[in-house]
Structure 1
Amino acid sequence: MKILFVHQNFPGQYRELFSWLRAQGGHELVFLTQRKDVPVMEGARIVTYATHHKPAKDAYALTQYWEECAGNGFGCAQAAGKLRKDGFTPDIILGHVGWGELTFLKEIWPDVPIIGYFEYYFLAKGGSVGFDPEFPASPHAPFTMHARNAVNFANIQTVDKGHSPTQWQCDTFPAAFKEKIYVKHDGIRTDKLKPDPDAQVALGRLGRPVTKDDEIFTYMARNMEPTRGFHSFMRALPHILDARPNARALIIGGSEVSYGKKSGSEGGYRAEMEKEVGDAVDWSRVHFLGRVPYEDYQKIIQVSRCHIYLTVPFVLSWSCLEAMSMGATIVASDVAPVREAIEHGKTGLLVDFFDPKDIARKVVDVLERPGTYAHLGPAARKHVVAHYDFMKVCLPEHLRQMNALVPKAKRIEVPGLK
């Protein structure tokens, strides 16, 4: 099959599917992206496109996002037009709708089916905006959020099929959208992401590696920001360390902002929170590791006695499901997208996002009495294997959806089916 992937930040949510298709061989894979640092890889062609236009800094707020996404879409369409001129016509297109990249592709290939990734419908209520009173929404939020959905509205007409990774994310969209959207996670490689009782993590400051025998608790986010509960975690930190004098915190994440308002402080929200908690924290037992290689991230979760996952009602992080796959005992915020994956007391522990003392109490209890909670990690892994495993659960459904849109001669054999 000839497949065109479209995602401004290669490979995005297509990491596992793209890798699997490359490994199978026999398919012509092209990936359109804005990333310029993607290495040459066997079995696929990476094509870089540039946005055609960026809005001015003082652009009108209600049209700024559309203007930016239209620039992405037109830049992507121009690159697609060159591919067509060079003789490439895909059998199917898979791409993320959120940055406008798919918007004009039917103008290039009117008859090529498109499956669009519908990640999130911008909500003024019930989502990330306005959830945390510490970061109140602007009075204009209902208008700007609805205006941002112009991209979603344009693309539901562009695509032949939509895809959302979780039911909660799908449910953020209007009913008319959901008639076109199928729900299935991108997929977790549970065959690779497993518990490892022998895992070790080197900590230079400590002078020796830490293992499962150490009292390690972890926090991870792409960036340390309020959307992922970094401020709540940091306010819980003094209570955890005071109660457990041998405990150490291993923190993964950058100091930028992926979602929400940027910090006004140099050094971002990390600097803000370090200043706020100040001398209440024994910093010798706090290890900010930054962004780490994927293999190191796995080992960090594997040595963790308690992993903390905090988020406002928003897109469920891959890291939550990956930690579950590795058998972590998880303390997570009690919000709807998390409840879809974690059942309190059975596959993890849910806490009040706004209550650092509640977070600390749960974490301290897990650190103090790991045997009491020893059932949670295996149960979490079992749940992810059953519902989110890439090879056995997610890949077959994604292939079925793709096959339904292409001629029989082009279809890909679904693993496990004869």
Structure 2
Amino acid sequence: MKILFLHPNFPAQFRHLATVLAKNPSHEVVFGTMRPEGALPGVKKAYYQPTRQAGTDTHRYVRPLENAILQGQAVYRMAQELKADGFYPHVVYAHSGWGPGLFVKDIFPKARYVGYFEWFYHAHGSDADFDPADPLAADDEARIRVKNAPILLDLAACDAGITPTHWQHQQFPPELQSKLTVIHDGVDTEYFQPQPGAKLVLPTLGLDLSHVDEVITYVARGMEPYRGFPQFMETVMQLQQRRPNCHVVIVGEDRVAYGKSLPNGRTYKQKALEELDLDLSRIHFTGLLPYAQYRQVLQASSVHVYLTRPFVLSWSLLEAMATGCAVVASSTAPVEEVITDGTHGLLADFFSPEDIAAQVETILDCPDQAASMRAQARETVLARFDLAQCLTAQLAHLSA
């Protein structure tokens, strides 16, 4: 079988599936992407690049759609070259939203088109209107509605679709949900597993916390309100005042991956460091880490804090649970799908640093309760998100 993956990043959500397919010598796997970095064994990369970005004179509601169309055109040109070289896929698997799959059925009409659908946008009832301090205007409501245009085009064109969680599935229009199957990307639970007594030592960063008994960890792609970074930093300030021996390790980049940026190029990290009374000698910003070092952070964690608006569930939460972290998380819908308060972790009010700090201290002060939650967290990931079973489901869906 010939399989074409399409995603502007590489390997993104398709890492495990592309890898296992490429191990079969009867398969030919090509990955169309905009990113030249990285490689997977047996996977051939093909590159595409839009000729331009959406014009500044384009109506701002429509710019995401114009960018998706430009990306779809770039994929079409790349696909023409593949076709000329004799590659005609049996299956095309594309991430919806950015536009790489928009014209799959035009260039490869006989191929089975499977879409990966991560999110459907709503002005009300999920992420966009979650923060009462950031109300929506009519202009925002209209813009958010139009943002679904490339996703709806993919839903109409694809033969089948996958979405990773039931919460994300529920965001799609009810009349279209039957086209989508809930199958998670999967967590490598053999790699992400507990290491009792682990201490955090990262020589390349000059970080040695081997002498520290209370290590609070936080992981996100960016430092932004969508993942509760401002609330987390206020939580840290409170914890530092009450627990003089605790240290905090923050993994991620000083940028905004989702949501609004601050004006004048200021970052949320800069804002927190300027406005909060923090002991910076006990806060360690690592930036993005290689997988092995990231796993060390999770294995050495005393308490792992995960906060999110009602939005896409992060891989990092499930990886932390698989690693046996004692988790304090926001009591928001995507989290509540995987964590029952008091069983798999403790839940807290997203907007209350006081509540988050209190739950962190509960774990630090109650090691027996924490041990039970650590074990239950890993068991949940093993039962519902283990990579082997998720891959089995993905492969069955792909060839259906």
After TM superposition, the score normalised by the length of structure 1 is: 0.92
Tell me what 1:372 maps to: 369
Tell me what 2:329 maps to: 332
Task: State the 1:58 CA deviation.
Answer: 4.2
Counterpart of 2:35 in structure 1: which amino acid?
A: R
SS of the residue corresponding to residue 42 of structure 2 reads coil
Structure 1 pair 147–373 and aligned structure 2 pair: CA distance change class (3 A): same
Alignment RMSD (CA, Å): 1.8
Task: State the 1:114 CA deviation.
Answer: 0.8
Q: Which whole-Å CA distance do the structure 2 matches of 1:49 and 1:386 have between them?
A: 38
- Residues 212 and 247 of structure 2 are in contact (CA less than 8 Å); yes or no, is this contact kept in structure 1? no
- Whether 1:319 aligns to 2:347 is no
Counterpart of 1:399 in structure 2: which amino acid?
A: L
The superposition leaves residues 45-98 of structure 1 with CA deviations (integer Å, 9 ceiling, x where unpaired) of: 101101144112342112111111000111111111111111101111111011
Tell me what 2:357 maps to: 360
SS of the residue corresponding to residue 107 of structure 1 reads helix
Q: Which whole-Å CA distance do the structure 2 matches of 1:312 and 1:208 have between them?
A: 31
Structure 1 pair 282–182 and aligned structure 2 pair: CA distance change class (3 A): same
SS of the residue corresponding to residue 340 of structure 2 reads coil
Tell me what 1:8 maps to: 8
Tell me what 2:291 maps to: 294
Task: State the 1:116 CA deviation.
Answer: 0.0
Q: Which whole-Å CA distance do the structure 1 matches of 2:168 and 2:207 have between them?
A: 42
Instruction: Give the stretch that moved more between structures: 51-60 or 8-17.
Output: 51-60
Tell me what 1:240 maps to: 239
Q: Counterparts in 2 of 1:49-60, with a 5 A limit? A: 49-60=48-59
Q: Counterparts in 2 of 1:13-412, with a 5 A limit? A: 13-39=13-39, 41-202=40-201, 209-211=208-210, 214-264=213-263, 266=265, 268-277=267-276, 280-391=277-388, 393-404=389-400
- How many residue pairs are counted as aligned between the two chains? 400
Q: Report percent identity of matched pairs.
A: 38
Instruction: Give the stretch that moved more between structures: 370-379 or 15-24.
Output: 15-24
- Residues 19 and 42 of structure 2 are in contact (CA less than 8 Å); yes or no, is this contact kept in structure 1? no
SS of the residue corresponding to residue 106 of structure 1 reads helix
Q: Which whole-Å CA distance do the structure 2 matches of 1:47 and 1:340 have between them?
A: 37
SS of the residue corresponding to residue 299 of structure 2 reads helix
The superposition leaves residues 306-351 of structure 1 with CA deviations (integer Å, 9 ceiling, x where unpaired) of: 0000000000000000000000000000010110011110001110
SS of the residue corresponding to residue 168 of structure 2 reads helix
Q: Which whole-Å CA distance do the structure 2 matches of 1:212 and 1:92 have between them?
A: 52
Unpaired segments ≥5 residues, structure 1: 405-418
- Residues 219 and 307 of structure 1 are in contact (CA less than 8 Å); yes or no, is this contact kept in structure 2? yes
The superposition leaves residues 93-126 of structure 1 with CA deviations (integer Å, 9 ceiling, x where unpaired) of: 1110110110111111111001101110011011
- Residues 165 and 185 of structure 1 are in contact (CA less than 8 Å); yes or no, is this contact kept in structure 2? yes
The superposition leaves residues 2-50 of structure 1 with CA deviations (integer Å, 9 ceiling, x where unpaired) of: 11000000111111111222334432110000112234x5411101101
- Residues 321 and 384 of structure 1 are in contact (CA less than 8 Å); yes or no, is this contact kept in structure 2? yes
Counterpart of 1:26 in structure 2: which amino acid?
A: S
Structure 1 pair 205–299 and aligned structure 2 pair: CA distance change class (3 A): closer
Counterpart of 2:18 in structure 1: which amino acid?
A: F
SS of the residue corresponding to residue 374 of structure 1 reads helix
- Residues 117 and 162 of structure 1 are in contact (CA less than 8 Å); yes or no, is this contact kept in structure 2? yes
Q: Which whole-Å CA distance do the structure 1 matches of 2:225 and 2:131 have between them?
A: 9
Q: Which whole-Å CA distance do the structure 1 matches of 2:366 and 2:281 have between them?
A: 24
Unpaired segments ≥5 residues, structure 2: none
After TM superposition, the score normalised by the length of structure 2 is: 0.96
- Residues 19 and 43 of structure 2 are in contact (CA less than 8 Å); yes or no, is this contact kept in structure 1? no
Q: Which whole-Å CA distance do the structure 2 matches of 1:377 and 1:68 have between them?
A: 43
Structure 1 residue ranges, 4+ long, deviating more than 6 angstroms after superposition: 204-208
The superposition leaves residues 170-210 of structure 1 with CA deviations (integer Å, 9 ceiling, x where unpaired) of: 11000121111000111111122100125332267997733
Q: Which whole-Å CA distance do the structure 1 matches of 2:343 and 2:158 have between them?
A: 39
The superposition leaves residues 144-180 of structure 1 with CA deviations (integer Å, 9 ceiling, x where unpaired) of: 1110111111111111001100011011000121111
Task: State the 1:369 CA deviation.
Answer: 2.5
Structure 1 pair 264–25 and aligned structure 2 pair: CA distance change class (3 A): farther
